[in-house]
Every structure is written in C-alpha cells, then in structure tokens.
Structure 1
Amino acid sequence: MNRLVVVLGVIWCLGTALARAQVAPDCSNAVPICNNTPVNGGTNGYGSDDFKGAGKSGCLEKTLSGAIESNAAWYRFRTGASGQLGFNIGFDSSEDWDFALYKASDCNSLGDPIRCNFFDNRDANSFIGVGVDPQGATDNVQYEDWLEVLPGEDYYLLVNNFSNINSGFSIQFTGQIFVTNPYDALDCAIINNLLGPPIAACNNENIVLDATTADVVSYTWYKDIGNGYAVIPGEVSATLNVLEAAFYRVEVITQSQNNIISDVQVGFSQAPTTSPVNDEHLCLDSGYFYLSDKDQMALGSQSSNEVIISYHSSLADAQAGINALPLEYALQAGEQQIYIRATSVQNPRCYDASENFKLTVHEPLIANFPLEVFLCEGELSALIGETVPDPEYNYLWNTGQSTSSITVTQGGEYSLTITDKLGVSACDNTFMINVYASKTPHIEEVIIDDLQDSNTVTIVPDREGDFEYRLDEGAYQPDNKFYNVLPGRHSVTLNDLNGCGTATETIVVVGFPKFFTPNGDGANDVWNIVGISSLEEPILTVYNRYGKLLKQLSQNSMGWDGNYNGVALPSDDYWFKLSFKDQDGQRIVAKYINNHFSLKR
C-alpha cells in the first residue's frame, strides 16, 4: 500500500485555554471535524462515563480510573466522499495513548468500535491510528487497517490517554479519499459557521477571512489571543487579512436585523525547510540503501519530533506527499534522482520539497580474464590479468605493478585492483587470481574388467586434478570409467582441463574363461582368449606360478589343453602374457590385463 498524502492535522497550540477548546471529554459534545479542521489538545479527565460503567468496549478495557476512559477526547466527523480513509494520532513517544472509532450517528447507540487499539507503547512509537505509520514503521502494532467509506457516514472517535501523563496529541487524517476529494472528503455541513471551520495554516500562507453576506449594514472584526475578544481597529470590510494565530470573530449587522456573529480559530505552523543533502555513490552489490541515513542532514537544526522526512521518486510525488519510497531502498544500477519532502508533524499541510539528491549505483566490474591460471610443467611463465586494458581505469597489483596484466613465474595468489580514474566508483573491484603450478598428467593405471559380455575400462590418473577422459577417438567425458568396451586394441587418453597436456596409453581388452576343465567331456576342455583378431601377430604364452613357460599360442591356435609335453598338469592357478607388434613393428607386451585363470580337474 502506498503511503498517501497527509491531508489534515493538528497544527498549533495557542495556550492552554485555546488548546482545550478543541477537546471534549464527553461523547455528547464531541468536537466536530470537517475537511480542514485542526485537531489538537491535551486531555485532562473524562467527564461523564460514556460507557455507563461497562468493563469493555471492543478492545478497550477498564483503566486506572475505574472506567474505560482515563483522559478522554471525543470527536465526530461525517464522510463526504467514498474511498480509503485513515488517520494518524501523534504524541510524545514516552506516553501511552489508545483509541476507538465508532460508526454511529448517536452517542447513545455507539455499538462496538470498528477500529480499536489498546496496546501499550512499549515500542516508544510516536503515532497510532488507522492506515500506515507516517514515519514508515512497518511493525507498529498500534495501527489498524484502512477504512473503506461511503459518503454520508457518521463516526465518533475516542482518543484516550492511559498513562495520565500527557503533553497533548494531534490528529491528521490521511487516505486516498483526500487525493480524489481534497476539499470535501469530510463533510463540513456538521459545522454551521459563516467563517467556516478552524483554519490550520502555514506561516508562509496568506489567510483571508471572508464574511461576505447580502443585505449588510456593517462588519466589525474582533480578535482573541487568550484574554477575550477585542475589536480590531479599522477592520470594517467583509474580509480580513490574518497575520497571527488567534480566535477571530465577525459581527455582521444586516438591514433585516438577522444579525450574524461568527467565530473561527486560525493557527499558523512553522513551515519546515530542507537542508541540502549530498549525492551518494553506491555499489550494486550492497543490495539496499537506508534512506533514513539522510534524515539528519535533511533536517538540519530541526527536530525529528517536529518534522518528518520522506523520500520520493518524483518532484510531483514529493509535493503531493504520496508514494513515499521504502526506507530500505532496493538498489538498481544507474542514476536515480531522489526527492525529499520535509513535513511538519504539527501540520502536514506545511512542507518543503525543494531539495533532492542523486543516487548513483555502480555495477561491480566483471573479470574478463581467468581468476585461475595454471603454470604447467615445462612452462617458464604465465600472463595474468586484463590483456585489453580500459583507458578509463587504473590498475594496481599487490606486487606494486600498475599495468593491466603481469607475467608471473611461480604459483601463488595475486590481487589486482581496478579503479575508476574519475574516482567515483563505490565498488571494491579487487580480483584475486590464483596461479597454480601444475604437472603434466600421467596415467598411473588402467583397470580392465574383462567380463566378455560387458567389459569395463577405468583410467586412473597419477594425481588429483581437473581431468576428462576419452576412449579411442570418442568424445571426452568427465567420468573415468567406460562400459561395454569391445574386445581388442584401444587407446585411452587423459586430458588436463587446465591446459597442462594429455597422456595416452594403448590397452588390449580380451575375453577369456576364468577357469577350464580339461577332462575330455567336450565342455571347457581347452583354454584360449578372444578379442585379439585386431592385433598384429599376437602371441599368447602360458606360465605356471613359478614362471615356467608351459605353452605358446598364436592367433590361429585352438587353445591350451592343460598338458605339458603330453603330461596332464594338476589343478592350479596359471598366468599368461599377451604380446603383439605395434605400428612400428616393435613387439610389445599388453599392459593392464588381469592375466590369471584356473585349471580344474
């Protein structure tokens, strides 16, 4: 909900007598409020018990007085338009005030209040009411929901001081209804007065009282500043220019003898001024800017108890007192003009919106260079930092160098600070660059599970690192394990993702039975391997556990029958080696083959 313009308020104090003229302790003579009526005063007792001994009225309960009321002030008003309506009751934050609002046209049938607050003021708030706290406090439990009103509705408002210690209060009406109907939101017909309702003016306003009436013989003007009415010499026209706060009276003598005597109270409040506020440069990564940090500078010598500071995105909003920005203002990149409104607490009609400041939000620089650099084995140096410098920025390394990039010869942590040459960026654009001395990768082992139906190959690097793996000419993958590898000759490759080279090994995946039973039954009588048809001149040699050569098989051999020189060998474990010629014609022994099998009889 946007905070809306404060339209009506308690504006001044002309002394105890005048202040109390605006306070009625009993509902039966409640002070009428219309569109521009000032409401102020200090309560002192509650007169007659308007609740006739009742112990509760809505949220209100009996107070220390023994009645619901302690120090009561009653007001009544009638709506003149439809819309959203609220009010703020302002007081000293050390005091405890309550309120109840009744929708009724008769004090004898108030019913239950439609808005009511009986919380104590342990949070030391300066306002209670309906709508939103004008100081921007979102956690003020002494505020009730907005009213949605229609024209012609009558209300009674009880303002009660619970603590018996009070220095007065003010009431300011608020809400969208005063934006759409600034002159008739509250019906002034309840106040029958030639000079109209009391006037809450600012000290920089020109106030003219107008008693123009037909059939007039003469006008006589009077003024009362606390000692009774006295004639104002020389003022005999239908209008009167008012220069000071007082009660004013006009006596109108008519030819028809329907003479009129009309009184009006005029008060002046000091219009606030806004002191200049300096511009702000912030970094987007701060997230928020607390606008209230500017309050004291904007207030100058004024007190925050007398002047409310609010912030707006446009001058029009600041002048109207609407759409106040949240005090915890979310930052957005770029420049924003923030307009300041200083509003009198005593009379919200008195304001100043002459000052503003520029809020410039800078985006943190994004590193266009790697923050991790690897100095590979065999490399003497590496270039780090920004290789394409921006002429609008200065560069400084923790090594003392002021170039955008530097050459390093050893691993370590390096910091680069980039600053705007204009000196306005609020961002900490310091980048940490880690240089790692890295070795060329090697394959420590290749684990081959020759299961014939589903062969797997696992590449084991010689150290931890950022690697990817490839089988033959296939695509690289992050997983070091390959499944369903066909029997035969393959190449496996280990690649360092940091650019420090690759390692490749040639492997042979073969399939062979883990045991055989040469007993002449025609099943598993010979042992051989499969998957060597792609090898050049493969030779398979079989050994016993002591390394004695028992059999040599070529690609076309039928296999080993478990005999040596015609003698059947006993049940035991046996081993084999596989060799073949590489592309250069050199005979090599296949590595990583799990070359163990069993003979069973």
Structure 2
Amino acid sequence: MNRLVVVFGIIWCLCSTVAVAQVAPDCSNAVPICNNTPVNGGTNGYGADDFKGANKSGCLEKTLSGAIESNAAWYRFRTGASGQLGFNIGFDSNEDWDFALYKASDCNSLGDPVRCNFFDNRDANSFIGVGMDPQGATDNVQYEEWLEVLPGEDYYLLVNNFSNVNSGFSIQFTGQIFVTNPYDALDCAIINNLLGPPITACNNESIVLDATTADVVSYTWYKDVGNGYTQIPGEVSATLNVLEAAFYRVEVITQSQNNIISDVQVGFSQAPITSPVGDEHLCLDAEYFYLSDKDQMALGGQSANEVIISYHTSLTDAEAGINALPLEYGLQAGQQQIYIRATSVQNPRCYDASEDFTLTVHQPLTPSFPLEVFLCEGEPSAVIGETAPDPEYNYLWSTGETTSNITVSQGGEYSLSITDKLGVSACENDFMITVYASNTPHIKEVVIEDLQDNNTITIIPDREGDFEYRLDNGAYQADAKFYNVLPGRHTVTLNDLNGCGTATETIVVVGFPKFFTPNGDGVNDIWNIVGMSSLDEPILTVYNRYGKLLKQLSPNSMGWDGTYNGVAQPSDDYWFKLSFKDQDGQRIVAKYINNHFSLKR
C-alpha cells in the first residue's frame, strides 16, 4: 500500500491539562485503560520490535524504521459488557497515524489484528478509528467497522505515528456499550490501585477520592501540582473532594500495620459551551445543507482543534453522542429541529448539548396559472398571472405592477416574482410568462386524393400552430389526414388548441378516371365522375384547355363520349367544374378538386 510520508515541525500537545500521560512503546508494558482513564499521549520511538522482524501484521507494513513500528504506543483494555464498541484517535490533521487492534491476552500471541488501518492521511483527516468519524464524515477511509464485544474480552491497541512527528494524540472510546453501561463498559479491574486508575473529569464535575479501608487508624492526604507532594491541611477523612488537577496521594495507617500509600492522577478538562446559532430557511431545490457551516457560530471562539461540533436529530442522541448527522445533510420539505453537541477532544465525557436550531425547508411554488398565454386575433387583451392571490405573498411584475395578475395587450415575455411577506421563504419563486399574439386559423388548402376505393383528404392550415382536425361530426384527431373517405359532400374543421378559434370548409370528394380512350372498343369509352348522387342538384361541366364549354352533365347522364356537336375532340388535357346547391339553396362550386383529366386516342 502506498504511503504519503508527511513531516512537519508542529507541537500539538493534547495532554496539557491532564499532566503527562503514560506512554508505552512496547506491548509488554501496555498502558491499561478502563472507563475513566484519560488517554492522551505521544510517541517517541518503538522500543523493542514487538513483531520480531515480521514484514506485515494485518494491514501494517514495515516503515522507514525497518520494523512495522516507527513511533509506537501500546494500550490494553478488557471489556466489561456486551455491545457495540469503537474508538476515535484524534491527532493533528497534518500527520499520518496508523493503528491495529488485537484480540489477545498475551503479547506473545497477538495473532492477526481484528481491526487495522494503514491508509495515508492525504485527505488531512483529524481522526482515525473504529466506528464512525465524530465529525460526521462518511467518506473517511481511515475508519473501520464497529466491534461487537462480549464481557471479559482482552484487547491490545497499537497506535503508530508513521509521519515520525510527536505532536500527540488522544483516544476516545465510543459505541452503544457506553450508553447501556456508562460506568463499566471497560473493566477497571485490570488496574490494581486503592484510589483506582487516573481520573479525567470535566471542570463542572465534582470528584471525590475514596480511600475507605478497614482497620484504619488515620488517613493523610497529599497533593502534587508539579513541585512534589505536600500535605493537604485538615484532610484526614477517608474521602477527599478534589477541586484542581494534580497528583493525589493518600497514606492509610492501619492497626495491623499493613499501611497503604496510593497515588492517583486527576485531570480536569474544560467543558465546552455551545453558543446559540440562528435558524435556517432553505429551498428544497438546494438538495443539501452543509451543517459544518454552523460550526464557527456554535464554537463561539473555541478552537476547532479542542472542540468537536456534531449534529443530531434528537436531544437524546446529542447527549449520548451517537448517530451524528452527515455534514452534507440531505434536505426534506418541512421543519426539523437539529440538536448540537459540542464535545471536548481531550475528554469526550465533557460536552454541551444545550443548543439547537430549526431547519425549515421550503418547497418552490408550483404555478397554478399558465406560463404560456395566447392573445387571439380580435381579442384586445388577456389576463395573466395568479387569479386567486395568496395574502401571505407579495407579487412583483417586470412591468412594475404589484398585483397578482395583470392585463396585457401585446405579445412578449412577462416575469413575475412571488415572495413571502414574512421574508422566510428561501426559494426564488420567479416565473416567466410568455404571451403569444395569435391569429384565427384558416384552412389554406384541402388536398383530396380521390382514388375511388380509398379516398384520402389532408387539411393544410395557413400557418404553423397547435391544431386538431375533424371530418364531419367525428372526433377531433391530431393527424391532419383522413383515410377511406366516402365520395360525396363533407365538412372539415381546423381547431386551434390554444383557443384562438376554428375554421370550417365544405368539400366534395368524387372519383373520376384520370384518362379515357373513346375509340369505340367498348373499354373506357365514356368519362364521368362518381359521387354526384349525394349532392343537391349537381351540375358537371367539361372544358377544353382554352375554356370552351364542351359538355354539361347531369346526375343521370351516361357521361362524355369525347365529342363536341358530334365532332371527335383531339387527344389532350380537359378540365371540369362541379357545382351544387348548399343548405341555403345557393349554388356553389366544389373546391379543392383536382379537376384535370386526359383524352387519349
């Protein structure tokens, strides 16, 4: 695995308020950890090679030191309950740290690690560990899966500084096991001391040391704040109320002369204070809100290196420090309360979850009015916009008008901005309404293809537009072409879908041969049309190319035989007209008929 070696000259001591923490570079004298042991330390070399020259241990590989360890710190702990267990190792984001966790009770039989991480820190993370990044980062590859533990399991933890800079680190244990068993999740029996293991407390907590022992003659208490132990005047009882960080010693004199001297380190960490943050109003179309944008306000001047800010959906989760929300928080419409937890990096038991804020996500308005309006021929004006205004909103048009709707008399684009009167909506509810000045439609042409067996007609509008078409009293259709039209008189209708009127034409569909051969052979000697019988008093007239009337045919005529006054007409093209009476008794000429045919001899 490729590594990024980072070397920086930075001193970042996480243990300044807890005095000097224990560091063990070798597994054999690993520092025991129990529930309230402060774990703040650094590394300086690796002592003996605990892997006896091996090239690998799980994910760990040899470092520049020639061994798997380069700057190592070993810890051990024993589980006191069952459940989900994890830990966060915090450090300077400029450095590169690794870890391996072994489930073992003997340094000589470590086996393979049950959790291991050897990724470089090119992403400049501040935490590695098991479980979940306390800052809510879901893409931190330096985190391994939670552990499921049972009571009485022994573990060894190796923390290794790959970048060879001793800036210090902290370890905070996490997981559901500390919710169900806050006082015995880790077994303190591995530390044999009358006053117990070192104690790290918050500055707002009361700490009482208890040296109660049977067969006691006297108790004498001492304190060392850096200049050696000195007796605490007046403190002669079995318990001592601790008010400041120091090393404490009790001397217990017993009647049996089995006198006891016990020392304990007590440190106080500054409890964070969460500053109030403002509520947020967002628009759903933003999709995400970056919760980290609230960090600086919540910190209120506290250092981000000393206090972790996390966000939760309930006060219970915030107080327990579980189920932190991802920093890239997906938005949902409505109102949600977000609870903030400020946690001390040095001592995660010190926290403040007193602040929260309301996240209100607004949905963009859906217009209940058309965004395209047609101003039809003959209409002087049209009303655009919201006809049923909401009293909670203000309206502003590009024309400067402030009503919910306006009257326009010409085509163009008109913008409408709708804003919340309370000023809380974060959505930009701007709408563009286009007004089209549209003429009443007309039928330019009806193309009639009279094939006798399968007549078709196609309606041609005078312009492009959104139209539908109808033949006689049938249903409207989107296609302008009609098939299998019977011969005779028909009505065709063109309708503007945008409400700008209709156009209707009366047409006649007839069938006729495109040529005839009056040569007396009995085949195709007579020319006539099919479909006149459905018309009222139809008259068919035949003309030559010069417009001379050659023949007038009635519905009962046999047809034209190609002669005029008994004289055979030459091979040529001829034309005809068909007229009939309409419903008002007026004689009209049938339009759109392709009235051209040929005589061949």
TM-score (norm 2): 0.92
SS in 2 for 1:357: strand
- More displaced 10-residue stretch of structure 1: 296-305 or 374-383: 374-383
Give the distance between the partners of 1:119 and 1:137, measured in 2 at CA. Answer: 16
Q: What is aligned with 2:200? A: 200
Q: What is aligned with 2:89? A: 89
Shift of 1:414: 1.8
Shift of 1:318: 1.8
Q: What is aligned with 1:475? A: 475
Within 5 A, what are the aligned runs for 1:34-433?
A: 34-433=34-433
Shift of 1:541: 2.8
Cα deviation code 1:456-509 (max 9, x no counterpart): 222111111222222212222222222232222211111122221111111122
Give the distance between the partners of 2:236 and 2:165, measured in 1 at CA. Answer: 45
Cα deviation code 1:155-195 (max 9, x no counterpart): 21110111111210001111222223322222222223332
Give the distance between the partners of 1:218 and 1:486, measured in 2 at CA. Answer: 125
Aligned letter for 1:185? A
Shift of 1:515: 4.1
Give the distance between the partners of 2:519 and 2:51, measured in 1 at CA. Answer: 115
Cα deviation code 1:126-164 (max 9, x no counterpart): 111112211122222211222222332222111011111
Unmatched runs of 5 consecutive residues or more in structure 1: 1-9
Shift of 1:566: 4.2
Shift of 1:69: 0.8
Q: Is the 8 A contact 2:80 2:187 kept in 1?
A: yes
Shift of 1:340: 1.5
Q: What is aligned with 1:3? A: none
Q: Is the 8 A contact 2:17 2:269 kept in 1?
A: no
SS in 1 for 2:160: strand
SS in 1 for 2:293: helix
Q: Is the 8 A contact 1:14 1:225 kept in 2?
A: no
Give the distance between the partners of 1:429 and 1:277, measured in 2 at CA. Answer: 27
- More displaced 10-residue stretch of structure 1: 535-544 or 96-105: 535-544
Cα deviation code 1:400-458 (max 9, x no counterpart): 22233222222222222233333333222332222221111111111222233333222
Structure ranking higher on relative contact order (CA contacts 8 Å, 6+ apart): 1
Shift of 1:261: 3.4
Give the distance between the partners of 2:387 and 2:90, measured in 1 at CA. Answer: 62
Give the distance between the partners of 2:447 and 2:263, measured in 1 at CA. Answer: 106
SS in 1 for 2:247: strand
Q: Is the 8 A contact 2:175 2:322 kept in 1?
A: no
Q: What is aligned with 2:9? A: none
Give the distance between the partners of 2:185 and 2:545, measured in 1 at CA. Answer: 108
Q: 1:275 to 1:579 in 2, by over 3 A?
A: same
Aligned letter for 1:171? I
SS in 2 for 1:294: helix
Shift of 1:265: 2.1
Cα deviation code 1:225-275 (max 9, x no counterpart): 344443333222111111111222333333344443333222111011111
SS in 2 for 1:360: strand
Shift of 1:75: 0.9
Q: Is the 8 A contact 1:11 1:268 kept in 2?
A: no
Cα deviation code 1:81-140 (max 9, x no counterpart): 332222111001111111111122211111222222212211111111112211122222
Shift of 1:71: 0.7
Aligned letter for 1:40? N
SS in 2 for 1:536: coil
Q: What is aligned with 1:6? A: none
Q: Alignment length, in residue pairs?
A: 589
Give the distance between the partners of 2:195 and 2:553, measured in 1 at CA. Answer: 127
- More displaced 10-residue stretch of structure 1: 348-357 or 87-96: 348-357
Cα deviation code 1:505-560 (max 9, x no counterpart): 11122233344455555554433332333211222233444444443322223333
Give the distance between the partners of 1:132 and 1:191, measured in 2 at CA. Answer: 28
Q: Is the 8 A contact 1:543 1:550 kept in 2?
A: yes
SS in 1 for 2:316: helix
Aligned letter for 1:347? N
- More displaced 10-residue stretch of structure 1: 375-384 or 159-168: 375-384
Give the distance between the partners of 1:263 and 1:556, measured in 2 at CA. Answer: 133
SS in 2 for 1:336: strand
Aligned letter for 2:155? Y
Give the distance between the partners of 2:572 and 2:217, measured in 1 at CA. Answer: 143
SS in 1 for 2:367: coil
- More displaced 10-residue stretch of structure 1: 502-511 or 147-156: 147-156
Unmatched runs of 5 consecutive residues or more in structure 2: 1-12
SS in 1 for 2:424: coil
Q: 1:272 to 1:508 in 2, by over 3 A?
A: same
Question: Which of 13, 28, 36 is the equivalent residue of 2:16?
Answer: 13
Aligned letter for 1:478? A
Aligned letter for 2:372? E
Cα deviation code 1:275-332 (max 9, x no counterpart): 1212222223333222211111111111111111112222222222222223222333
Give the distance between the partners of 1:171 and 1:91, measured in 2 at CA. Answer: 9
Give the distance between the partners of 2:281 and 2:348, measured in 1 at CA. Answer: 31
Shift of 1:571: 5.1
Q: 1:586 to 1:107 in 2, by over 3 A?
A: same
Q: 1:451 to 1:213 in 2, by over 3 A?
A: farther
Give the distance between the partners of 2:217 and 2:392, measured in 1 at CA. Answer: 81
Q: What is aligned with 2:458? A: 458
Give the distance between the partners of 1:536 and 1:206, measured in 2 at CA. Answer: 113
Shift of 1:202: 0.5
Aligned letter for 1:13? S
Shift of 1:74: 0.5
SS in 2 for 1:67: coil
Q: What is aligned with 1:7? A: none
Q: Is the 8 A contact 1:272 1:307 kept in 2?
A: yes
Give the distance between the partners of 2:487 and 2:168, measured in 1 at CA. Answer: 97
Q: What is aligned with 1:29? A: 29
Give the distance between the partners of 1:481 and 1:80, measured in 2 at CA. Answer: 85
Shift of 1:598: 4.2
- More displaced 10-residue stretch of structure 1: 145-154 or 337-346: 145-154
SS in 2 for 1:354: strand
Q: Is the 8 A contact 2:14 2:169 kept in 1?
A: no
Give the distance between the partners of 2:215 and 2:571, measured in 1 at CA. Answer: 142
Q: 1:590 to 1:45 in 2, by over 3 A?
A: same
Q: 1:44 to 1:579 in 2, by over 3 A?
A: same
Q: Is the 8 A contact 2:581 2:587 kept in 1?
A: yes
Q: 1:541 to 1:243 in 2, by over 3 A?
A: same
Q: Is 1:485 matched up with 2:485?
A: yes
